[in-house]
């Protein structure tokens, strides 16, 4: 299989974590390379990444959560991203949505705002994104009480979403002492071998991240 990805993309990290958890061999195709970018655009003209290409099945799979479920359906491995129990499966999918929609999305809005020229920055949108992050931190802090991983005691799809979203969000708007359960959870994620590998692999490009040198408060 071939994964078209960018080494700093939070959604690409989400899929990489699942691939490393499963131990499935794949060919990474970095979109900074012209040939890889042309292949990716031909496969998925919508222009979003990551995209997984499975030549054996003639399948092109997009959207990070769907890619992770596709891997669970079609490739051997011990990692079960969606629990077998229906109620536990719903919790994993809910937490996946919470991290993607209410942590990842406002985090990305803040990154995009920082990347704009000074005159084009939007203080209203920035304040809205920070307010959403504050709500998400508080909500997820409560849900994480007594849990090892996002949806319970097993590492799931939700944790694949949580790792990049919390890592990046904490760099921009630090969680601080007000969210001890969330901060401890992020520490466990960073120590997880699959995510530790992703973090190590990002290093050559890390200086490109707009908040590499400090949080939003440094503005």
- In DSSP notation, 166-196 reads HHHHHHHS---TT-HHHHHHHHHHHHSHHHH
48: nearest Cα among 5, 81, 83: 5
Burial 153-177 (b: 16+ CB within 10 A, else e): ebbbbbbbbbbbbbbbbbbbbebee
Q: Domain spans of the chain?
A: 2-74, 86-196
Indicate the fold that domain 86-196 takes in CATH.
Glutathione S-transferase Yfyf (Class Pi); Chain A, domain 2 (1.20.1050)
What residues contact residue 186 under an 8 Å CB cut-off, 6+ apart?
166, 167, 170, 175
Task: Provide the 3-class DSSP secondary structure of residue 5.
Answer: strand
Walk along the chain (219 residues) and give the pLDDT tens digit of each residue: 999 999 999 999 999 999 999 998 999 999 988 999 999 999 999 999 999 999 999 999 999 999 999 999 987 678 999 999 999 999 999 999 999 999 999 999 999 999 999 899 999 999 999 999 999 999 999 999 999 999 999 999 999 999 999 999 999 999 989 999 999 999 999 999 999 999 999 999 999 998 877 776 644
Residue closest to 96 by CA, chosen among 49, 9, 160: 160
pLDDT computed for residue 217 by the predictor? 60
Handedness of CA 181, 108, 198, 61 (dihedral sign): positive
pLDDT of residue 218: 43
Q: Could you tell me which CATH number the domain at 2-74 has?
A: 3.40.30.10
Q: For position 76, what pLDDT does the model report?
A: 67
Question: Looking at residue 6, what is its pLDDT?
Answer: 94
**Amino acid 219: pLDDT:** 47
Q: How far apart are CA 197 and CA 11, in angstroms?
A: 15
How far apart, in Å, are the Cα atoms of 197 and each of 112, 191, 202?
Answer: 26, 10, 9
Please give the model's pTM, rounded to 2 decimal places. Answer: 0.94
Other beta carbons less than 10 A from residue 97's beta carbon:
13
């Amino acid at each position: 299989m071939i994964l078209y990805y960018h080494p700093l993309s939070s959604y690409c990290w989400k899929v990489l974590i699942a691939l490393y958890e499963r131990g499935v061999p794949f060919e990474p195709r970095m979109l900074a390379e012209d040939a890889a970018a042309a292949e990716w655009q031909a496969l998925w003209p919508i222009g979003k990444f990551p995209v997984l290409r499975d030549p054996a099945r003639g399948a092109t799979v997009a959207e990070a959560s769907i890619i992770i479920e596709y891997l669970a359906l079609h490739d051997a491995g011990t990692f079960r991203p969606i629990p077998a129990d229906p109620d536990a499966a719903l919790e994993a999918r809910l937490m996946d949505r919470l991290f993607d929609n209410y942590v990842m999305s406002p985090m990305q809005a803040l990154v995009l705002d920082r990347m704009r020229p000074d005159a084009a920055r939007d203080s209203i949108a920035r304040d809205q994104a920070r307010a959403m992050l504050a709500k998400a931190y508080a909500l997820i802090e409560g849900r994480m009480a007594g849990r090892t991983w996002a949806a319970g005691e097993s590492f799931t799809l939700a944790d694949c979403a949580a790792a990049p979203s919390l890592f990046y969000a904490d760099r921009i708007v630090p969680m601080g002492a007000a969210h001890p359960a969330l901060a401890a959870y992020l520490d466990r994620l960073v120590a997880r071998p699959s995510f530790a590998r992703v973090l190590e692999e990002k290093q050559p490009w890390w200086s490109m991240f707009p908040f590499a040198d400090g949080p939003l408060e440094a503005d």
